[in-house]
Structure 1
């Protein structure tokens, strides 16, 4: 899919999905920018992980902007490449 998008000169993509999809993009170093929305809710046992539990090594982020949007919070962050 990514090769097809590249052949059509599409170089930007918004990825919305579950933790497995997001983890695969992160592991492949394909994420240039994170827009993380946080709702004021706590989920107990059985909650859904943001990235999954198999992401290694640790990924560092640089927070660029934190903004309150209604009751939610938007965090704009960028990966710190070593």
Structure 2
């Protein structure tokens, strides 16, 4: 039978630090594993919905008053000018 933790000569603060570090390491490993899976098998590509396309167009071409970078000029149907 094992001794209870209270009978050990290790301070409780040290045990708590060890457990916290082990939990953080486990979370980091889970994140790394998820990233490895995504890099190995990227999600299937899909076309954007009309709303998503409009939002992306807004990001590229519409000026925002607080933006520090100017928006791209709208493309023209006549080609490059």
Q: TM-score if structure 2 supplies the norm length?
A: 0.19
Question: Which structure dedicates a bigger proportion of its chain to helix?
Answer: 2
**Larger RCO (alpha carbons 8 Å, 6+ apart):** 1
Normalising by structure 1, what TM-score? 0.19
